[in-house]
Amino acid sequence: MDNRAEIREFLRTRRAKLRPGDTGLPDFGGIRRVPGLRREEVALLAGLSVEYYTRLERGGMAGVSENVLEALARALQLDDAERQHLLDLARAAGPAPRAPRRKRGQVSASLQRLLDGMTEVPAFIRNGRLDVLGINALGQMLYSEAFVSSERPVNLARFCFLEEGAHRLYPDWQVAAETAVALLHIEAGRDPSDEGLTELVGELSTKSEEFRKLWAKHDVRLHLSGYKDFRHPQVGDLHLALDSLLLPAEHGLTLTAYSADPNTPSETRMLELIELTYAGARRQAGRQSVVSR
């Protein structure tokens, strides 16, 4: 990833979302060549010179202080995810960034046992590129559409934009697509030297016009809690609570689990999904028991 280009486009798109009236500045009307705030207006709000802000927006963030970044975040009214992304971009722009820690290509045996022990909630572990590196049986049943392809690891961004099954699995495909792109932008800010991410973004940009449009918006979001909707081919619609936990001991990995709220249609359907998942395993175990006698 080109860190300077990422900085430039992120700040430009945040600036374009605001009008003077949104910030308390007077709007004297007139024709604006670009939508949103002008550079001099952002500089005024952040307490910076126009020349300094222009340098920042052109990608020159090496050595910028945290106070300046916080002032910029306030001026542009960034939310928590956008503010963290700005800090990540500035950190990656340093003159001698430390080498990124090794990305692990698989989860440890103990983490997989943890997933396997979660028998009543779908759960998986992913990296920042949205590669599914570990998943339990119920999670694989929930995401069965994504596991139709033999390619491993399953990449949820590639699945979302390039596989027809994504439009069946996600009732609101647009929300799922926007979330996937926002998470990839978060990772690009954290580690612009990730060659795997660069290749993935290049592939999706080449093959999906919708991805190109969403990527150009430079939106980011934290996806640690909330709800996600699924349409499973065997049990129907599921409205599930989502909880994601960063794994501090495993750099760049996130554990995501889904659960159904009690006394809802989704809880009933989740019980059906659990039965479907483990009924086959019980039958297989029964056949093995008969054979061994």
Question: Does residue 140 contact residue 118 with C-beta atoms inside 8 Å?
Answer: no
Based on C-alpha coordinates, what's the Rg of the chain? Answer: 22
From the list 80, 13, 1, the residue with the least C-alpha distance to 219 is 13
The residue that leads in pLDDT, 150 or 216, is 216
Q: What is the per-residue pLDDT for 290?
A: 40
Domain boundaries, given as residue ranges, for the chain: 3-92, 109-285
Residue 134, phi then psi, degrees to nearest 5: -160, 145
User: Tens of pLDDT along 217-255?
Assistant: 999 998 889 999 999 999 999 999 999 999 987 888 999
Mean pLDDT value across the chain: 90
3-class SS shares of the chain: helix, strand, coil, % to 5 = 55, 10, 35
C-alpha span between 246 and 289 (Å, rounded): 40
Question: For the whole model, what pTM was predicted?
Answer: 0.87
Q: What is the per-residue pLDDT for 26?
A: 83
Least confident of 26-30, 42-46, 67-71, 209-213: 26-30
Q: What is the per-residue pLDDT for 253?
A: 94
Q: What is the per-residue pLDDT for 291?
A: 42
User: Tens of pLDDT along 244-254?
Assistant: 999 987 888 99
DSSP 177-230: HHHHHHHHHHHHHH-TT-HHHHHHHHHHHHH-HHHHHHHHHT-----SEEEEEE
The contacts of residue 207 (CB under 8 Å, 6+ apart) are 161, 162
Q: What is the per-residue pLDDT for 21?
A: 87
The strand pairing partners of 225, in sequence order, are 243
Least confident of 31-35, 50-54, 131-135: 31-35
The residue that leads in pLDDT, 28 or 289, is 28
Which of the following CATH numbers is that of domain 3-92: 1.10.3720.10, 1.10.260.40, 3.40.50.11900, 3.40.50.300? Answer: 1.10.260.40
Q: What is the mean pLDDT of residues 33-53?
A: 91
For the cut 60, the answer to whether the pLDDT of residue 172 exceeds it is yes
Cα 156–157–160 angle (5° rounding)?
Answer: 85
Specify the DSSP class assigned to residue 261: P
CATH fold for the domain made of 109-285 = Beta-Lactamase (3.30.450)
Give residue 6's pLDDT band: very low, low, confident or very high (50, 70, 90).
very high
Q: What is the mean pLDDT of residues 153-182?
A: 97
The strand pairing partners of 126, in sequence order, are 132, 254
Residue 103, phi then psi, degrees to nearest 5: -80, 130
C-alpha span between 268 and 263 (Å, rounded): 8
Share of the chain above pLDDT 70, in %: 90
For the cut 90, the answer to whether the pLDDT of residue 197 exceeds it is yes
The residue that leads in pLDDT, 28 or 14, is 14
Residue 27, phi then psi, degrees to nearest 5: -110, 110
Q: What is the per-residue pLDDT for 143?
A: 97
Q: What is the mean pLDDT of residues 245-272?
A: 94
Residue 24 CB-density burial (10 A; 0-12 exposed, 13-18 middle, 19+ buried) = exposed
Q: What is the mean pLDDT of residues 157-176?
A: 97
In the chain, DSSP finds a helix count (H) and a strand count (E) of: 14, 5
Q: What is the mean pLDDT of residues 194-215?
A: 96
Q: What is the per-residue pLDDT for 251?
A: 80
C-alpha span between 49 and 220 (Å, rounded): 27
Question: Does residue 252 contact residue 127 with C-beta atoms inside 8 Å?
Answer: yes
C-alpha span between 259 and 270 (Å, rounded): 8
The strand pairing partners of 237, in sequence order, are 231
User: Tens of pLDDT along 55-108?
Assistant: 999 999 988 999 999 999 999 999 999 999 999 999 998 755 454 454 556 789
- Beta strands 132-135 and 123-126 are antiparallel
